[in-house]
Amino acid sequence: MAAEAAHPVDSARREADEAKLRLSGVAKSYAGRRRGTVQAIGGIDLDVRPGEFVSLVGPSGCGKSTLLYIIGGFIGADGGSVLCDGREVSGPGPDRGIVFQEFALFPWKTVLGNVTWALARRGVSRKDRPEQARRLLSLVGLDEAGRLYPSELSGGMKQRVAIARTLAMDSEVLLMDEPFGALDAQTRALLQEELLRIWDETGKTVLFVTHSVEEALYLSDRIVVLSSRPSRVRDVITPGFPRPRTREQVLADSSYAALYERIWAELREEGPA
Ligand SMILES: Nc1ncnc2c1ncn2[C@@H]1O[C@H](COP(=O)(O)OP(=O)(O)OP(=O)(O)O)[C@@H](O)[C@H]1O
């Protein structure tokens, strides 16, 4: 006997239950000193599934960073709700790690010290920290750099340490705010490849803010295009390039050019915030 087709309402409910992150009507305004109230986010609904890689693109100033900080629990929303694993987010938590564009390392600690700090915060025993820190540094390609200080590192190396430190927290959700925005093109391409490898190895759920349509297309399962301020979800694109993927395969895919043009056309229409 043929299997019964799932009832559409049941499958919608199951998908919702499985959401790692669930944003419902998230809104945020800032009280400006000179400009009056700035309504940054107008009401965002979005579900992110466990292990999914989702990118957020949108015009400058539309509230992408704000949204990430709300999900991280660093600032509160004025309206709506954010659920992580079905629990309301009310502040920062070990289930959500954040990587910023600016590397935010402790300059007085070595590379190893920066990563060990995060392991200590997570409650890893003193005995196990050096071994785990070395494993994480190896994962981001920094086996030899443990004794160096941040001032001795290139931008790309600093960002690798920042990623290792966030991985040390072992958060299931990684919130990444233009993590490669300050890097040169070659380093950026290398780190994109490494991020995909790490994501594949660790199964993290990633929400990734970027200004680069190429980057979003290469990395993501889904791309969320936000409108200009007060931002809403304007479009959600599922590129569907096979995984594991290489940049060359993605660029050569017959649907790449049309997707690229579609996202750019939407961003052009929205204009700057
Ligand atoms: N602390 C704040 N106080 C007042 N206004 C703020 C504050 N933070 C952000 N804003 C305003 O809220 C809006 C959204 O800012 P946000 O940095 O979240 O946008 P973004 O999409 O990440 O920008 P970009 O693409 O340029 O990085 C902007 O108009 C910004 O000026």
229 CA → ligand 1 middle, Å = 10
64-68, 120-124, 210-214, range with the lowest pLDDT? 120-124
pLDDT at 15 over 80: no
Q: Are the C-beta atoms of 158 and 105 separated by less than 8 Å? A: yes
The mean pLDDT value for 39-52 works out to 96
User: What integer pLDDT is reported at residue 4 of this predicted model?
Assistant: 47
Token couple for 89? 């987010």
Cα–ligand 1 centroid distance for 247 (angstroms): 31
Sequence letter at residue 3: A
How remote is the CA of residue 66 from the centroid of ligand 1, in Å? 6
Shortest-distance atom of ligand 1 to CA 32: 4
213: its two tokens:
């349509």
Residue 101 beta carbon below 6 angstroms from any ligand 1 atom: no
Neighbours of 40 (CB within 10 A): 22
CA of 132 to the centre of ligand 1 (A): 37
User: Ligand 1: does its nearest atom lie under 6 Å from the Cβ of 63?
Assistant: yes
Ligand 1 atom 25, closest CA: 60
The reply to whether ligand 1 has any atom less than 6 angstroms from the CB of 66 is yes
Q: Are strands 205-209 and 53-57 parallel, antiparallel or unpaired?
A: parallel
pLDDT of amino acid 131: 93
What value of ipTM does the predicted structure carry? 0.97
Count of beta carbons in the 10 Å neighbourhood of residue 218: 22
Q: What is the mean pLDDT of residues 86-110?
A: 89
